[in-house]
Amino acid sequence: MQKKLLLITLLLLHIYSAKAQKEYYFPEETFSNDIPSPYSYLGYHVGEWHTRYDRLVGYFQLLADKSDMAELITIGYTNQLRPLVVLVISKKENISNLEYIRTNHLKLVDPTLPMPDVSGMPAIVNLAYSVHGNEPSGGEASILTAYWLLASQSDLAKEIRNNAVVMIDPAINPDGRDRHTNWANMHKGTPPVADPLDREHNEIWPSGRVNHYWFDLNRDWLPLAQVELQSKIAWYHTWYPNVVGDFHEMGTNATYFFEPTKPFGSENPVIPRKNYEEINNKFAAYFAKALDDIGSLYWTKEVFDNSYPGYGSTYPDIQGGLGLVFEQASSRGHIQSSQRGDITFQFTIRNQLKTSIATMEAGVKEREYMHKYLREYFQTAITEAGKDKAKGYVFGDETDESRNRLFLKLLLDHKIKVLENDKDIISEGKSFKKGKSWIVPSSQPQYRMVRTMFEKVTTFSDSVFYDASSWTMALAYGMPYATQTIVSGKEIKELPSQTLTFPADGKYVAYMVDWSDYFAPKFLHHLQSAGVHVEVTAQTFTSNTDQGSKEFPAGSLVIPTAFQKLSQEELRKALKEAAVLAGQNVFASTTGFSLKGIDLGSGSISAIQKPKVLMLVGQGTSQYEAGEIWHLMDTKVGMPMTKVDLSMFGRVNLFDYTTLILTSGNYSSISPSQIAHLKDWLSRGGTIISMRSASQWLQSQGIVQEEFVTAEEAKGPESVPFADSRNLSGAQEIGGSIYLGKLDTTHPLGFGYKNSEIPVYRNTTLFFKPSKNKSQTPVRYSANPLLGGYVSPANLEKIKQSSSVLVSKVSQGRVIHFIDNPNFRGTWFGTNKLFFNAIFFGNKM
Ligand SMILES: [Zn+2]
C-alpha cells in the first residue's frame, strides 16, 4: 500500500515536472506522440544535467529511426573518434529527395548555369552549436529544436518542415564539450550552488572551450588545421547553406547578443555591404521578436568581431549565405549568480531555443530572397573580379614541394579554382618555375576567397580588434607569390601525384637530403627513432650524387654509411621508410670528395643529437600555444613530447631532457630550488625554447640578460572621455598582424630557408632589442615591416627597433626566444621550420 502510494506520488511529481518543463520551453505547443520526447530518452529534463555527447547523438539517432522526416548523417570524426553528425529535418518528400534538392540548390552557386526557379526550392538552414565546448546551452538547445521541429503541430513548425531543409549540427567540438559536460556534472550539488566561486563554475586547464589539441575551433574555418573543421568545410561545400546559426555563450553578467555586429569596424572588407546593411537587419527583426516574446533582454551592434574569415559566423558570409553569431550569458554550470540574479542553465537553453526557431522561421520567410542573394553573391564576385587590377596570382616555392602541396590543398578545400603554370614567369621581381608554381585567376565565383588568401590589407575603419586584423594565408604559408595580368592554364582538381627519388642499390659513402622541404624534420625524426646516426652541414656543398651534381645548402642532412649501428641493408630500409613517410627525395654519393665546397668529413658537418623535449603545460601556461606545439609535433613530425604540468615541475630532472619549452604564461609558482636546477641544467648545455611572455619571466629571474625597446610613447590626446577609454586602450594592442622579417639563413635557426625575407605573425606588445651578440638575432625586422593588419604608429616604431627571434647564450646552454608566434593557429607553415630548427639544432646555436 505504502509502495503504491509512493509510486503514485512519484508519477504525479513526474507529470507535474514534465508539465512544468513543457510550459517553460513550449507553453503553447501541441506535440505529436509519435516522436519520443527528450525526457523519454534522457530520463531527465533538458537543463537538469549537462548532456553527454554520445547521448545527444543517441537521441538524434532515435529521432531519425522513428521519423521519416529526419535523417542522421556522419560527416567525420574528432581526434578522440567521436562522430561528427548532422541531423537533417524536412518533410518526408524532401528527405527522400535530398540529392535532387542538393544538386538543384548548387546551381545557385554557379553563375554560368541558368538560374533555377527558386519559388519551390526549400531554404537550406544550418544550425551549428557548441563550437566552444564549455558553451553548452547550444548543444542542449539542439535537442529541443530537433524535437520541436519534428513533433510540434504548430503552423510554424509545419511551414518550416515544408519549406526548409534544416541541418542540425549539435556540437562542432564534441571532444571539448564532453570535457566540460563531465566537469559540470561531476560538481553539481543538490541543491545546485550558484556561487561563481564554486568549483563547478571554474574549469581546470585545458578548458572545454578547445578541442583535443587545445585549438579554438571558432578560429579554424579558414586555416582548417583541425579535423573537425576539415570535415565541416568539406560538408559545407556540398550544400552552401543559405543561413548558418552559430550559437555561443559569453560572460554571466551579460544578456544576449545577436547580429548585426558593430558597423564597419568589425566587418570584413570583401563581404558585400548588402549582407550587413540589409540582410542582417531583416533577420534581426525575427530574433528581437522571439526574445521580446519571453521578455529576455539582448543587445546588438556593439563589439563582437565579424571580420576574421575563420569564424563560424563569418565564413558563411564569404560563401553567399548569412552567418549569424548568437551569444548567451553563460550559467557555466547549472545555476550561477549574476548582477541580475541567478541564471539557470534552463534559461540559457531557452533563449538559444527561441533564436534557433527564429532563425529557421526567418530562413523560410526570406527563402526566395536568400536564394536570389546566393546567386547574386557569386555573380557579383565575377563582376568585381573584372574590376580588380590583379587578374590573378602566381605562387609556388621551388625549393619546398610539401609546403606547395599544403597550400594547394587549402585552396582546393575552399573550392578555389587553381591552374597549372606551364611557363617560367617573372612577376614583381620574383621568379616562378614552370611545373613548380600555380596560378589562381581572380575571375571565379570564389573571388572573395582569393582575396582572403592573397590580399594584404593595411588600412582600416577602426583600430580595435577582438582578434586578428590580418589573415593573408599566402603569407602564413610563407608562399612566394605575385600578381598576374595574364592567367591561363589547365585547371587542377586534386593534388598532383608525387614522385620521389631514391638511390638504387649500391655502395655509397653517404646519403643526403635537403632540409628545405617542410617535412624534412619528419624524415629526420623517423631516422633517429630507427637508430640511424644523422649529421647536418652548416655550409653549402655540391656533391656528385647518383642523380648527378647536386647542391646541398646549409641544414642539409648527411647520413654517412660508416658509424652506423645498423647494417647497410637495415640502413637503406630505414631510409626508404622515412623517405616515403615524409615524402622526401634521397640522394647518395660514392665519394666524400665534393665537387664544390666542403667535403663530407669536414668539421662543418656535425652529428645531430636526438632531441628529448619537455613542455610545461597546465594552469598558468597558454593552452593555445601549448596546443599548437603539441599538434605540430604530433601531426607534422610524429615526435612524442613529454607534457608536464607546471605544478609537477618540482619532480622533473631536466638532465633527462635536451629541450625545455616554455609557452607564454605565468611561471611565478616555480620554486627557487627548481630555478637553481633550471639554471644549472641550462648552463651545462640545455636548450630552452621560450615563447613570448615566458621570455619576460626568464629575464625577471636573471636567467637571461636581454634588453627591451624603450621608445618614447607617441603623444596621444591629453584626455579622453571615460566612455571612449575602451577604444583607446584597444588601439594600443597588437591584435594580430603580419610583418616582414629578415632571416639570417646562415644561422642554424635559418637552416632550410633560401630566402632571407620571411613574413612573421605578431600579436604581442613585447619588444626585445636584438641580441648584443651580433650573430645571435636570427630574425629581425625589415625597414618597413608591416605587411598586413593594424598597428599603431608608436608600436610600429618599436617593432622596427626590436627582434622577432633572438638567442641568449648562457654558458654551455642557450635560450631561443620566439617573440612572435611561429606556430600560430596551426597555420604558419612558413615559420614552423624556425621552430623545428630550434628543436633539432638548438645545441648548435
Ligand atoms: Zn563561443
Which residues sit opposite 742 in a β-bridge?
A: 757, 780
> Contact at 8 Å (CB) between 393 and 481?
yes
Q: Report the pLDDT averaged over residues 677-683.
A: 98
CA of 325 to the centre of ligand 1 (A): 9
Least-confidence region, from 217-231, 503-517, 616-630, 710-724: 710-724
Residue 12, classed as helix, strand or coil, is helix
CA of 130 to the centre of ligand 1 (A): 7
CA of 397 to the centre of ligand 1 (A): 37
Q: Report the pLDDT averaged over residues 327-333.
A: 96
CA of 832 to the centre of ligand 1 (A): 28
CA of 332 to the centre of ligand 1 (A): 12
pLDDT value of position 357: 98
Angle ∠(129,132,137) on CA atoms, nearest 5: 50
CA of 724 to the centre of ligand 1 (A): 26
Q: Report the pLDDT averaged over residues 561-569.
A: 96
CA of 329 to the centre of ligand 1 (A): 11
At 48-97, the pLDDT tens digits run: 999 999 999 999 999 999 999 999 999 999 999 999 999 999 999 999 99
CA of 250 to the centre of ligand 1 (A): 7
Backbone angles phi, psi at 71, to 5 degrees: -140, 135
- Residue 86 CB-density burial (10 A; 0-12 exposed, 13-18 middle, 19+ buried): buried
Sequence-distant (≥ 6) Cβ neighbours of residue 250 within 8 angstroms: 257, 327, 328, 329, 330
CA of 120 to the centre of ligand 1 (A): 35
> Contact at 8 Å (CB) between 798 and 739?
no
CA of 249 to the centre of ligand 1 (A): 5
CA of 107 to the centre of ligand 1 (A): 33
Q: Report the pLDDT averaged over residues 582-599.
A: 98
Distance CA(29)–CA(154), nearest Å, equals 7
pLDDT value of position 711: 63
Q: Report the pLDDT averaged over residues 594-622.
A: 97
CA of 309 to the centre of ligand 1 (A): 15
CA of 311 to the centre of ligand 1 (A): 10
CA of 248 to the centre of ligand 1 (A): 4
Sequence-distant (≥ 6) Cβ neighbours of residue 750 within 8 angstroms: 555, 743, 744, 756, 778, 834, 837
At 385-405, the pLDDT tens digits run: 999 999 999 999 999 999 999
Average pLDDT, the chain: 94
pLDDT value of position 720: 62
Distances (CA, A) of 393 to 367, 419, 447, 488: 36, 10, 11, 11
CA of 106 to the centre of ligand 1 (A): 30
Least-confidence region, from 59-68, 460-469, 785-794: 460-469
CA of 509 to the centre of ligand 1 (A): 57
Distance CA(309)–CA(269), nearest Å, equals 11
CA of 775 to the centre of ligand 1 (A): 44
Distance CA(675)–CA(449), nearest Å, equals 49
CA of 247 to the centre of ligand 1 (A): 7
For residue 118, how many C-alpha atoms fall within 13 Å in the half-sphere facing its CB?
22
Q: Does residue 463 have a pLDDT over 70?
A: no
520-529 and 568-582 are packed helices; what angle lies between their axes, rounded to 10 degrees? 150
- Residue 791 CB-density burial (10 A; 0-12 exposed, 13-18 middle, 19+ buried): buried
CA of 514 to the centre of ligand 1 (A): 43
CA of 608 to the centre of ligand 1 (A): 44
Q: Does residue 11 have a pLDDT over 70?
A: no
Sequence-distant (≥ 6) Cβ neighbours of residue 442 within 8 angstroms: 385, 388, 390, 391, 392, 393, 450, 487
Sequence-distant (≥ 6) Cβ neighbours of residue 843 within 8 angstroms: 609, 658, 685, 687, 814
Distance from chain centroid for Cα 651? 33
Which amino acid type is present at position 32? S
CA of 218 to the centre of ligand 1 (A): 7
Distance CA(270)–CA(317), nearest Å, equals 10
Sequence-distant (≥ 6) Cβ neighbours of residue 723 within 8 angstroms: none
Distance CA(761)–CA(788), nearest Å, equals 10
At 332-380, the pLDDT tens digits run: 999 999 999 999 999 999 999 999 999 999 999 999 999 999 999 999 9
Helix (H) or strand (E) holding 688: strand 687-691
Distances (CA, A) of 509 to 512, 545, 562, 568, 739: 10, 10, 7, 11, 43
CA of 288 to the centre of ligand 1 (A): 21
Distance from chain centroid for Cα 548? 42
CA of 208 to the centre of ligand 1 (A): 11
Q: Does residue 781 have a pLDDT over 90?
A: yes
> Contact at 8 Å (CB) between 268 and 314?
yes
Distance CA(596)–CA(549), nearest Å, equals 10
pLDDT value of position 789: 87
> Contact at 8 Å (CB) between 325 and 467?
no
Distance CA(106)–CA(375), nearest Å, equals 10
pLDDT value of position 302: 84
CA of 138 to the centre of ligand 1 (A): 10
CA of 236 to the centre of ligand 1 (A): 20
CA of 343 to the centre of ligand 1 (A): 18
Backbone angles phi, psi at 427, to 5 degrees: -140, 135
CA of 241 to the centre of ligand 1 (A): 21
CA of 190 to the centre of ligand 1 (A): 28
At 696-750, the pLDDT tens digits run: 999 999 999 998 887 655 555 566 666 666 555 566 667 789 999 999 999 999 9
Q: Which residue reads 563560424 in cell numbers? A: 312
Quote the percentage of the chain above a pLDDT of 90.
Answer: 87
Query: β-strands 659-662, 613-617: how paired?
Result: parallel
CA of 317 to the centre of ligand 1 (A): 18
Distance CA(189)–CA(621), nearest Å, equals 30
**Better pLDDT: 662 or 707:** 662
Distance CA(124)–CA(102), nearest Å, equals 9
- Residue 23 CB-density burial (10 A; 0-12 exposed, 13-18 middle, 19+ buried): exposed
CA of 663 to the centre of ligand 1 (A): 23
What b/e sequence results for 435-455 when a residue is b if at least 16 CB atoms lie within 10 Å of its CB, and e otherwise?
eebbbbbbbbbbbbbbbbbbb
CA of 132 to the centre of ligand 1 (A): 5
For residue 384, how many C-alpha atoms fall within 13 Å in the half-sphere facing its CB?
17
Which cell numbers hold the place of 582?
Answer: 615524409
CA of 261 to the centre of ligand 1 (A): 15
pLDDT value of position 198: 98
CA of 216 to the centre of ligand 1 (A): 9
Which cell numbers hold the place of 604?
Answer: 662543418
Distance from chain centroid for Cα 755? 27
CA of 183 to the centre of ligand 1 (A): 18
Query: β-strands 419-420, 438-441: how paired?
Result: antiparallel
CA of 99 to the centre of ligand 1 (A): 33
Q: Report the pLDDT averaged over residues 648-667.
A: 97
Residue 485, classed as helix, strand or coil, is coil
Q: Report the pLDDT averaged over residues 672-700.
A: 97
Distances (CA, A) of 433 to 198, 486, 631, 807: 62, 16, 32, 35
pLDDT value of position 721: 66
> Contact at 8 Å (CB) between 187 and 200?
yes
Q: Report the pLDDT averaged over residues 4-24.
A: 61
At 506-523, the pLDDT tens digits run: 999 999 999 999 999 999
Q: Does residue 426 have a pLDDT over 80?
A: yes
Q: In what order do the strands lie in the sheet with 83-89?
A: 70-77, 83-89, 164-169, 123-129, 243-250, 322-329, 256-258
pLDDT band at 19 (very low <50, low <70, confident <90, very high): low
CA of 831 to the centre of ligand 1 (A): 28
CA of 293 to the centre of ligand 1 (A): 25
Query: β-strands 642-645, 430-432: how paired?
Result: unpaired
Distances (CA, A) of 162 to 166, 516, 824: 10, 57, 45
Distances (CA, A) of 733 to 412, 465, 677: 34, 8, 36
pLDDT band at 1 (very low <50, low <70, confident <90, very high): very low
CA of 209 to the centre of ligand 1 (A): 8
CA of 131 to the centre of ligand 1 (A): 7
Residue 172, classed as helix, strand or coil, is coil
